[in-house]
A = this chain, B = another copy of it.
Amino acid sequence: MAERGRGWARAVRGLLLDVSGVLYDSGAGGGVPIAGSAEAVRRIKASGLKLQLCTNETQATRENFVRKLQAMGFDVSVAQVTAPAPAACRLLRERGLRPHLLVHDDLVPEFAEINKTNPNCVVLGDAAENFTYANLNEAFRLLIGMEKPVLISLGKGRYYKETDGLKLDVGAYMKALEYACDVQAEVVGKPAKTFFESALAELGVPPEQAIMIGDDIVNDVGGAQQCGMRALQVRTGQYRPSDENHPQVKPDAYVNNLAEAVDIILQEL
C-alpha cells in the first residue's frame, strides 16, 4: 500500500474525516470505535496536519456527538465538526423558511432558535425510530398541502452500518417523499458542494491540499472529488467490495482503514 500511496499522499496540509464507518461503527449503546482510529486521530494532531470531521450525522447535536466520540477516546472538539443541521439552520434563516422537523429527537435542540410555527417546508434527517408510518404520513401531508413544497434533506445517504447491521439512511426516505409529492429535495450535507466548501473553510486549507477519507463511495469520495479534493475510501463501515466497481466514482486510493491511511500520509510529510 505504501508503494501505491506515494502519488496521492503528497503535499497534504489538512484532512477531512467522515466519522461513522471511519472512526467508529454506530449502533446500540453508542457504537464501538474502529481499531486504530483513535490512535490515528492523535497521530494526525501530533503531525501538525489540520483536521476537520465532515459528517452527515443527524442523530445528535454536535455537542452530544463530540461527547460520545471523546468517551470512545477520540481527541476532537465541537469546532472540528461540520454537520448538516447548522448548515440547514443558516439556509432556513436566509430564506425565511419555517420547518416541520422529521428528525431524530436528539437533533431537535439544534433547531431551538428557528421559528417552527405554521411550517412552509419539511426538514428531513436520519430520524431512525421516528421514521414511523404516522410521522411519514404527517410530513407527506404537510408537503403536498403546500403551494410550493420545499423538502430539505440532511444528506442523501442510501444506508449505513450499525453494530447490528445495515440501516436505511435518510436518502431512502427522501426518495419516498420526493416521489409521493413530485418534488426534488434540496440536500444539505454531503455530497453537496457547498457543504464540502464549508468544511474546507473551517479546515482552513484549499481543496488541492486536503484529503477526504470516508467509507461512502458516492457521498464522501465522489462529493469531495467534485470539490477538487483527493479522496480515499476505507474498507470499513459501509464499504462493500462492489464499491470498487462503481460506474461513476473512483477514489484516489483504497485503504484498509483510517490507521493505514494515516501511516501512508505521515510517511510523505
Contacts and interface: CB of A to CB of B under 8 A. Distances in A.
A192 to B, nearest CB: 17
- The winner among A137, A166, A179, A181 for most chain B CB atoms within 10 A is A179
Nearest to A128: B133
B177 A172 contact: yes
Interface string A117-134: 000000000001101110
Interface in A153-202: 158-159, 165-169, 171-173, 175-182
Given A128-B133, A131-B133, A176 B180 contact: no
Contacts of A179: 158, 171-172, 175
Instruction: Count identical subunits in the complex.
Output: 2
Which of A167, A169, A175 has the most CB atoms of chain B within a 10 A radius of its CB? Answer: A175
A136 interface: yes
A141 interface: yes
Interface residues of A, number: 28
A32 interface: no
B129 A168 contact: no
Nearest to A178: B175
Given A131-B133, A132-B133, A133-B129, A176 B166 contact: no
Interface string A96-128: 000000000000000000000000000000001
Contacts of A172: 136, 140, 176-177, 179-180
B137 A168 contact: yes
A205 interface: no
A92 to B, nearest CB: 25
> What are the 9 A-B residue pairs with the smallest beta carbon separation, nearest first?
A172-B176, A175-B179, A176-B176, A172-B180, A175-B175, A131-B133, A158-B180, A140-B168, A159-B180
Interface of A: 128-129, 131-133, 136-137, 140-141, 144, 158-159, 165-169, 171-173, 175-182
6 contacts: A131-B133, A132-B132, A132-B133, A144-B159, A173-B176, A175-B175
